[in-house]
Amino acid sequence: MTRRFAGRSVIVTGAGSGIGRATALRFAAEGASVLAFDLTDGADATAAEIVAGGGDAEAMHGDAGRDADIVRLVERAVARQGGIDTVFANAGISGGLAGLFEQSAEDFAEILRINLIGPFLAIRHAAPHLIARGGGSIVCTASVAGLRAGAGGPAYSASKAGVINLVQTAAQQLSGTGVRVNAICPGLIETGMTRFVFDQARAAGKGERIGELTPLRRGGVPDEIAGAALFLASDEASYITGHALVVDGGLSSSHPFRRPREIGKTTL
């Protein structure tokens, strides 16, 4: 395997499960020193798996939307490796599917705090250290829900739309520094956050219908998002910044509609 990140210092938030865990493992497999950050003990399991496989990793616990915790995270990364080369600001919550008139202002604010303020804090506190290294890459997890309605609850969708604009704004603010800032917009990916959707469909005997509104006719897996994250973080994406890369099986290429079972037959 090509070790694209050999000798590089990488932070991954939300590394305890799902997309964050898969990406942390991939970074480590390609030579990175990984600081796996999560609110849960899952960060310990991720770091332990990396170390058991001969990689370099350390776990830290904290809240990705809390300023003091991100300051502490950045300081630890610098202390471990002398600097930071890559940040994957991935931590987030779904907040459920409550509608505009069912969701409280407090819940709405909490979702934005973690999903949008979290990436802002990661960029704000880590970017100066990337600049000091001569440049680097920050990748934030957004969502197809941030592109248009219909893929998530109101607060979640608004927070992810904010992430897309945040990376565009940050890319401009960091112009000339060598720091690239991009986002990934996953579609329906089976993670701890979305597993209830998959479980309900399978329990109802409808597992074959998962992802039927995508051209690829399936849901995705975390490793498919990890591959995109590593691409954006790598030198292969050296001319990409301020971009939101959609990885959704084609879902957002059209407004979703229920397709007929037989190809060639269209119901209007």
Which are the catalytic amino acids? 156
The Cα 187–Cα 199 span in angstroms is 17
Phi, psi of 80 (to 5 degrees): -75, -45
Tally the residues of the chain: 268
The Cα 170–Cα 180 span in angstroms is 9
The Cα 179–Cα 87 span in angstroms is 11
Candidates 36, 72, 78; CA nearest to 55 is 36
Whole-Å CA distances, 143 to 16, 63, 82, 239: 19, 20, 32, 22
Quick one: how far is CA 105 from the chain centroid?
25
The Cα 222–Cα 161 span in angstroms is 21
* DSSP secondary structure letter of residue 19: H
C-alpha dihedral sign at 129, 64, 229, 20: positive
Run of H or E including 59:
strand 56-61
Whole-Å CA distances, 185 to 90, 182, 248: 11, 10, 7
